[in-house]
A and B are shown apart, each in its own frame.
Chain A
Amino acid sequence: MDSDWDEVCRVPLPPPGIRGHPTPVSTLSFDTSQELLWAGNEYGRVSSFYGAELQQYTSFKAHKQGDGKVHQLLFNDKGVIALGSRSVHMAMRRGPPLWHIKHEDMKELRCMAFTSRGTAEILVAGEQDKMFVIDVNKGEVVKILPTEHHYKIMRRSRHICAATTGSAVHILDSVTFKVSKVWTAHAAAIHDMDAQHDFIVACGVTPRQQGYSMFSTLVHVFDLKNMVSMNPVPFPAGAAYVRMHPRMSTTSIVVSQNGQIHVVDLMNPNTSNVRQANSFTFTTIDIAPSGEAVALADGEFNIHLWGSVSKIHFAELANPVEFAQSGGPMPSLDWNDNTPLSSVGMPYYREVLLSAWPRDSVYEVGAPPTKEDTQFLATLQRRDWGLFGKNTRGVQRNQIEDTRSLDKEQSLLKAPKFLSEKARSIAHTPAGTPAPEEVVPEMSQ
């Protein structure tokens, strides 16, 4: 870590609603291809922050509120994948959803990792007896695998490394997803784990008397190249979170729960570089793919961004972030009857306009209006603005009624009336006025 590293920015995670209380950050991840930092909250919402100022960019709901927190985020060139306990959601970085998978066997999902097929496929697992293989491009479950082990953290390096809910790390073959090696890293439970190139690093908690647990003062290291456990790295402050440095393959960053940051070379653990982040407790951390920024989430719902002020950047090859564009000055128009709607010109276009209606939709116009059922009207209550009551007419709301064919049927059945008969039938109608359908033809003449 360079000597000029410091806290560059600190922003609060937005609360879940206007009057909502802030909630802790449930997961924090740097984007792999844009200058974005992503955070998930306890209610299934995912928000992104742009650049060193952590300016709020997009935000979307990945899961239903009842489905709990966002457990993990993964990125590919199309967008961001968010994992909830009962569903997997993929959205574009700009926010609109791409797909959403909900399966009845998804009950307690916790973690996911890309497989041997690059970023086109993910393996999803959790504290449940089934794992899912999902095709990311199609948004479909490809395979469901039974498993005896419950996993809570997954990272992919040359294999898929999965931390169980117990004390072991399983190394899974990234094609068959079979357990190829079990490494018991800690006596108690694993708290955080990372894997990169040739190493797995893990830190854990040890239960103590009186029921509370303590973070282990050792970071355990596993060599993936030779498949052997290495000497643990001492960390007196109690290692809570650990990440491998993405550029320096033997360097790892270890953070204690109260924010002590050590940058340690695994090959030479005695030379460490120490920093202190200021807050009470920290809940999650992540390091940017460039290695030039570290984000920490604290117990007071803030996100801290650490790095060197002059050269902080997140992604190794950053694609530009797509912001909204302002369409230039807007002409101000008057709302009056003479304002032509053509006063705002059309932009240049080459395709069929959206306002083009399908050609084959033919509807007849000019059918007589539906007759009001007097019995129905009698059930309504009267107010000075009209009548109201329940819809008891036996038709759906807004249902169309074919008044024309009704009229035709009637006229086919009845013989034409003489003028005198018409006059008589008019006299028989209750109010002495002709029914609407008898008036219409005369008016149209």
Chain B
Amino acid sequence: DEVNSNLMRELENGRIARLVMKLGTINERPEFDNDPSWSENGERYQLKLFRDYVFHQVDSSGHPVLDLGHMISSLNKLDAGIDERIHLASRDNQTVFVVSYKELKKMVANCFNELAKPHGKQ
């Protein structure tokens, strides 16, 4: 049983690490600068906002909150692409989206496939 639970643990680690790597390869690539789809009215702006939602949480006085539970559960929900909807707000609070994890998952998968496509194997 203990071996089993240890195995589960390591599997989860690998899964989350892979997910974070995927997100890491996508966000803030300089190739995407000046690409209209990443601008504030572009279709990929929400991925930036999701990164902020997961990793840049703050409390009411603006101090960073490093809530591991929030990060893992949001990542898990993204991984599974469930129908739950979340609020995404831009840094100046001027843009407010209501997006489901399902849509975000599709968006991440599209972006990642686009990155993987043009060269294929390196």
Contacts and interface: CB of A to CB of B under 8 A. Distances in A.
Interface residues of B, number: 52
A344 B86 contact: no
A347 B45 CA distance: 26
A339 interface: yes
Nearest to B99: A96
B96 A95 contact: yes
Contacts of A184: none
Given A45-B94, A95-B95, A95-B97, A358 B72 contact: no
Contact of A59 (B22, B76, B77, B96): B96
Contacts of A365: none
A355 B18 contact: yes
A148 interface: no
B19 interface: yes
A341 B82 contact: no
Given A59-B94, A346-B79, A100 B67 contact: no
A354 B109 contact: yes
B3 interface: no
Interface string A398-415: 001000000000000000
Interface in B27-43: 36, 39-43
Interface residues of A, number: 57
Given A60-B95, A353-B80, A97 B68 contact: no
A95 B12 contact: no
Given A94-B85, A349-B82, A333 B69 contact: yes
Given A94-B85, A330-B70, A324 B98 contact: yes
B92 to A, nearest CB: 6
B9 A341 contact: yes
Nearest to A102: B36
A335 interface: yes
A327 interface: yes
A195 to B, nearest CB: 30
B109 to A, nearest CB: 6
B69 to A, nearest CB: 4
B96 A58 contact: yes
Nearest to B69: A333
B80 A346 contact: yes
A18 B79 CA distance: 34
Interface stretch (A61-69, A250-258, A289-297): A61-69
Interface in A348-375: 348-349, 351, 353-358, 360-363
A303 to B, nearest CB: 17
B68 A333 contact: yes
Contacts of B43: 96-98, 100
Interface in B1-30: 8-9, 11-13, 15-16, 18-19, 22
A445 interface: no
A89 interface: yes
B121 A362 contact: yes
Nearest to A402: B122
Given A327-B84, A339-B68, A62 B41 contact: yes
A351 B98 contact: no
A51 interface: no
Interface in B50-98: 66-70, 72-73, 76-82, 84-88, 92-98
Interface of A: 14, 16-18, 44-45, 56-64, 89, 94-98, 100, 102, 322-325, 327, 330-335, 339-349, 351, 353-358, 360-363, 400
Given A57-B98, A354-B81, 7 more contacts: A18-B93, A58-B98, A96-B46, A96-B103, A102-B36, A346-B79, A351-B81
12 contacts: A89-B41, A95-B97, A96-B46, A100-B43, A325-B85, A331-B69, A331-B73, A342-B9, A343-B69, A351-B81, A353-B80, A355-B18
Interface of B: 8-9, 11-13, 15-16, 18-19, 22, 36, 39-43, 45-46, 66-70, 72-73, 76-82, 84-88, 92-99, 103, 105, 108-109, 116, 121-122
